[in-house]
């Protein structure tokens, strides 16, 4: 069977975990926490990175940092994971969904301004499939209206927009290291605070609302409760696993890119025949091969192809049922403007298996099955 996803395992993770155990500090904020934060700061030229217990928790910390109050509005695409919305809903925000662009499935930057009201506080661009949103335009709209930009870069590690790492462009960036992401630690994430004015509170929020981080640095002689916060620091065994993967990230990336290119080169002729649509990566975006998807003619045809692949032991997957159409979507949010593309395009999107352990033979079997489905 060709699985849709398998978490990468390089072998070196075990040594780092053993070392973490020997440090006799396996709670949050230990040796590997520091190493991972430092590695990410250096790799991305970011000033402030903190590992978190998940991408979801990084988004929750971001919502606290933006000081979201009940009734505040947050703009985001409906085509995203539930955590993008929930993180802000937990603070009492109303979610305002804006349509996506059909080419990248990212927030349509031209439709944001019409969704802004006096209550709007944050815009959340989600970099779908590790392909960047149009950040120049989004940050310009945010600046005109005095709004924060929180990048949901959960799928965007090591991807770039005009040479800048995703997650470092808005006021705050959030990564995920869930086992389905390119680089993983089981459950985990990272919070990047790019706006210096927001930085002071970040350590406190991640440390259960205490100034424990200052205490650990010897800046205060005891620590106390200073703000709201939660338990957002991952244990050091998980951080050690992540550190091994970060050190070897190029190996993981190369493998994923090779498979991505193999799929893409094989799908282009089918697209030229008008049988399907391929993924689109704008020239100024450097993607990270997080996902390879195609678009079929309709939801019905997508279902047929999924079934066809599954009969050949190949697991494929659709993505994100739009949040505004989910049971909680109408309770906590509303769609602003017309849903021209969100539902229509997400209905016909299909992701092909893509992971570190996938062989060329596996990829060719997937390609062969897609071709055969179309009688090619
Ligand atoms: C994976 C993902 C998240 C959540 O990350 P977790 O680490 O699973 O909590 C949030 N947003 C998007 C777009 C994601 O793909």
Tens digit of pLDDT for each residue in 74-124?
999 999 999 999 999 999 999 999 999 999 999 999 999 999 999 999 999
Nearest atom in ligand 1 to the alpha carbon of residue 177 is 7
Which pLDDT value is given to residue 314? Answer: 98
Which pLDDT value is given to residue 82? Answer: 98
CA of 184 to the centre of ligand 1 (A): 12
Q: Whose CA is closest to 234, among 185, 199, 201, 192?
A: 185
CA of 152 to the centre of ligand 1 (A): 8
Cβ < 6 A, ligand 1 pocket: 54-56, 80-81, 83-84, 126, 152, 154-155, 176, 178, 189
Question: Crossing angle for the helix pair 299-311 and 360-373, nearest 10 degrees?
Answer: 130
Tell me the per-residue pLDDT of 166-216, one tens digit each, with 9 for 90 and over: 999 999 999 999 999 999 999 999 999 999 999 989 999 999 999 999 998
Contact 95, 74 (CB under 8 A): yes
Residue nearest to atom 7 of ligand 1 (CA): 55
Contact 152, 175 (CB under 8 A): no
Which pLDDT band, with edges at 50, 70 and 90, does 55 fall under?
A: very high
Q: What does the CA dihedral 123, 124, 129, 135 come to, rounded to 10 degrees?
A: 40
Which pLDDT value is given to residue 290? Answer: 98
CA distance 69 to 71: 6
Which pLDDT value is given to residue 13? Answer: 97
Nearest atom in ligand 1 to the alpha carbon of residue 128 is 13
Which pLDDT band, with edges at 50, 70 and 90, does 72 fall under?
A: very high
CA of 194 to the centre of ligand 1 (A): 20
Nearest atom in ligand 1 to the alpha carbon of residue 54 is 7
Nearest atom in ligand 1 to the alpha carbon of residue 155 is 15
Which pLDDT value is given to residue 95? Answer: 98
CA of 81 to the centre of ligand 1 (A): 6
Residue nearest to atom 6 of ligand 1 (CA): 55
Nearest atom in ligand 1 to the alpha carbon of residue 58 is 9
- Kindly state the helix (H) or strand (E) to which residue 252 belongs, with its residue range: helix 249-272
CA of 60 to the centre of ligand 1 (A): 12
Which pLDDT value is given to residue 179? Answer: 97
Which pLDDT value is given to residue 337? Answer: 96
Q: Whose CA is closest to 239, among 5, 25, 7, 6?
A: 25
**Domains of the chain from N-terminus onward:** 13-247 (3.40.640.10), 249-373 (3.90.1150.10)
> Which of 54, 56, 133 to mutate for ligand 1's pocket (most ligand atoms within 8 Å of CB)?
56
Contact 102, 121 (CB under 8 A): no
Nearest atom in ligand 1 to the alpha carbon of residue 83 is 10
Residue nearest to atom 14 of ligand 1 (CA): 154
CA of 187 to the centre of ligand 1 (A): 10
Predicted TM-score (pTM) of this structure: 0.98
CA distance 349 to 305: 11
Nearest atom in ligand 1 to the alpha carbon of residue 189 is 7
CA of 82 to the centre of ligand 1 (A): 8
Tell me the per-residue pLDDT of 12-45, one tens digit each, with 9 for 90 and over: 999 999 999 999 999 999 999 999 999 999 999 9
Residue nearest to atom 2 of ligand 1 (CA): 154
């Amino acid at each position: 069977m060709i699985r849709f996803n398998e978490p990468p395992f390089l072998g070196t993770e075990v040594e780092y975990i053993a070392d973490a155990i020997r440090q006799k500090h396996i709670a949050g904020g230990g040796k590997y926490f520091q190493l991972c934060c430092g590695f990410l700061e250096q790799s991305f030229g970011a000033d402030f990175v903190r590992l978190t217990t998940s991408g979801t928790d990084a988004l929750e910390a971001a919502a606290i940092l933006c000081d979201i109050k009940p009734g505040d509005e947050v703009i985001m695409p409906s085509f995203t994971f539930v955590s993008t919305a929930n993180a802000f809903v937990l603070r009492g925000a109303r979610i305002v969904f804006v349509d996506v662009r059909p080419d990248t499935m990212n927030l349509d930057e031209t439709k944001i301004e019409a969704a802004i009201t006096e209550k709007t506080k944050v815009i959340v661009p989600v970099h779908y499939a590790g392909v960047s949103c149009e950040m120049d335009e989004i940050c310009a709209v945010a600046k005109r209206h005095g709004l924060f930009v929180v990048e949901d870069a959960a799928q965007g590690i090591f991807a770039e927009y005009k040479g800048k790492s995703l997650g470092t462009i808005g006021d705050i960036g959030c990564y995920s290291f869930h086992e389905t992401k390119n680089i993983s630690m089981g459950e985990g994430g990272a919070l990047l605070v790019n706006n210096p004015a927001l930085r002071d509170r970040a350590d406190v929020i991640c440390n259960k609302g205490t100034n424990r981080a200052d205490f650990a640095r010897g800046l205060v002689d005891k620590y106390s409760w200073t703000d709201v916060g939660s338990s957002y620091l991952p244990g050091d065994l998980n951080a050690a696993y992540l550190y091994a993967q970060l050190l070897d990230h190029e190996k993981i990336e190369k493998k994923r890119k090779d498979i991505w290119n193999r799929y893409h080169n094989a799908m282009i002729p089918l697209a030229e025949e008008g049988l399907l649509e391929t993924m689109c990566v704008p020239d100024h975006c450097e993607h990270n091969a997080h996902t390879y998807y195609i678009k079929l003619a309709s939801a019905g045809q997508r279902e047929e192809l999924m079934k066809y692949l599954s009969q050949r032991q190949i697991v494929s997957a659709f993505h994100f049922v739009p949040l505004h159409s989910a049971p909680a979507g109408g309770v906590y949010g509303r769609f602003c403007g017309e849903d021209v593309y969100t539902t229509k395009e997400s209905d016909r999107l299909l992701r092909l298996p893509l992971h570190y352990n996938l062989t060329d033979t596996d990829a060719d079997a997937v390609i062969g099955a897609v071709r055969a489905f179309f009688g090619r």
